[in-house]
Amino acid sequence: MSWQRLAGFLIFAGLTVNTAQAGNIDLSIDSSLADYVLEVSCSGEPVDEERLRASKILQAQIKHHSGLNEKFTMDAYIEGLQAASRCATLEPDLFRFRYVVNQKEEMARAIAYLKSHQSELVDFVVEKTAPYFPPGLQFKGEIVLSAAGQSCGGFSMDGVFFIDVPCIAEDVEDAFAAIEVLSAHETYHALQYAFFVPFNEDMQIVDSPAAAQNYLFMSLLAEGSAEYVAYSRDVTGKGKLAGMFRDFADKGYRRVNFNLRMVGYAAEVLGQPGDSSQRLRDMYSLGFMGDSGQPFYYVGAVMVGKIEATFGREALVCIMALTPEQFVLAYADVASKPGTDAAPIGAGAVIAAQELGAGQVSYTSCLP
């Protein structure tokens, strides 16, 4: 993927809002695709298939969804929107177009609310993420609103980051604090694209045990650091999204020592010969998907926090810019120090990280 900048957002005509800027981060809300989906819904008008297929936003969304389920294709999205244009939904309703058919006014109100509160949202995001973005780098991007998709919450792919509107439309006011945290989390993923070591998020191309282990460690670093900068355990509000964040985080942080061992077991499973792509999908589902409570998010966040507390923020940011096994090795170093309260990570993860790290720049080069 390109880890340099976001591109191709404004494929559809839509409201353009002023960006908010602070330091080296320039951020705004893009509702162009969501506006188009709402416009077509129940209109009886033909779907502009050519424009949909050309949309970099939609291409990124499809790539994210299809990474774990091949049924989520561009063709399936277009078929779903064609049905929504007739005020109907398909069965199965893969992309949840039922919301723009059955709750169109509620969806439109939620999108308008987020646009009108853009300044508050952006200020929160910049405050949380800027301290963990290397000085001197520039970032310009957008929080993309998705009116039809597979994930409740947020997700990112190829530098594009999304908020799932159906998940928050019913109680957008109560959910706003959760939306702020979600936006900071997903924005930090986009910031990672500017300074992390480049990697490809496409699980389907993983073809070896080493590549699968590398993907595991990159996901641990990426999701853990995003959770760390946008801590979800203290989210306020009574909305569905806020409750989900608190429930996941409470369980995840409570069981973090157990799940540190589970990361080691996952690395061992991925290190075995066989179908590395399928093994990775299975381990990713167990560790990073909402259906399983995304426990490795909180493992990674604790690892980030312990590294910062031990070596300092500057060293942490430096370590995060190295190949991802260095993150694991840095934490293993922290956990081995006398008197530490950092629980050890599973031995399988350390062994895999040592093997992957042969010949790479060491995390020790970042230490004060």
Rounded CA-CA distance 82/85 in Å is: 5
Measured over all CA atoms, what is the biggest interatomic distance in the chain, rounded to whole angstroms?
69
The pLDDT, as a whole number, for residue 105 is 96
Task: Characterise 200 by phi-psi region: left (phi > 0), alpha (psi -120 to 50), beta (else).
Answer: beta
Buried b (16+ CB within 10 A) or exposed e, 23-48: ebbbbbbbbbbbbbbbbbbbeeeebe
What is the secondary structure of 23-82 as a DSSP string?
A: TTEEEEEE-HHHHHHHHHTTS-PPP-HHHHHH-HHHHHHHHHHHTT-TT--HHHHHHHHH
Sequential pLDDT tens for the chain (368 residues)? 322 222 222 223 333 333 444 347 888 889 999 999 999 999 999 999 999 999 999 999 999 888 778 899 999 999 999 999 999 999 999 999 999 999 999 999 999 999 999 999 999 999 999 999 998 888 888 889 999 998 787 787 776 788 999 988 988 998 899 999 999 998 998 899 889 999 788 888 999 999 999 999 999 999 999 999 999 988 888 778 888 899 999 999 999 999 999 999 999 999 999 999 999 999 999 999 988 999 999 999 999 999 999 999 999 999 999 999 999 999 999 999 999 999 999 999 999 999 999 999 999 999 98
The pLDDT, as a whole number, for residue 13 is 30
The pLDDT, as a whole number, for residue 263 is 98
Q: Show the tokens assigned to 302.
A: 């604790």
Q: Show the tokens assigned to 328.
A: 């694991």
Can you tell me whether residue 195 is helix, strand or coil? Answer: helix
The pLDDT, as a whole number, for residue 225 is 98
Rounded CA-CA distance 330/308 in Å is: 10
The pLDDT, as a whole number, for residue 26 is 86
C-alpha separations of 229 from 187, 207, 301 in Å: 10, 32, 8
Q: Show the tokens assigned to 153.
A: 């919450």
- Full-model pTM: 0.82
DSSP label of 232: -
Rounded CA-CA distance 328/300 in Å is: 9
Are the beta carbons of 347 and 271 closer than 8 angstroms?
no
- Give me the residue spans of the domains in the chain: 20-195, 203-366
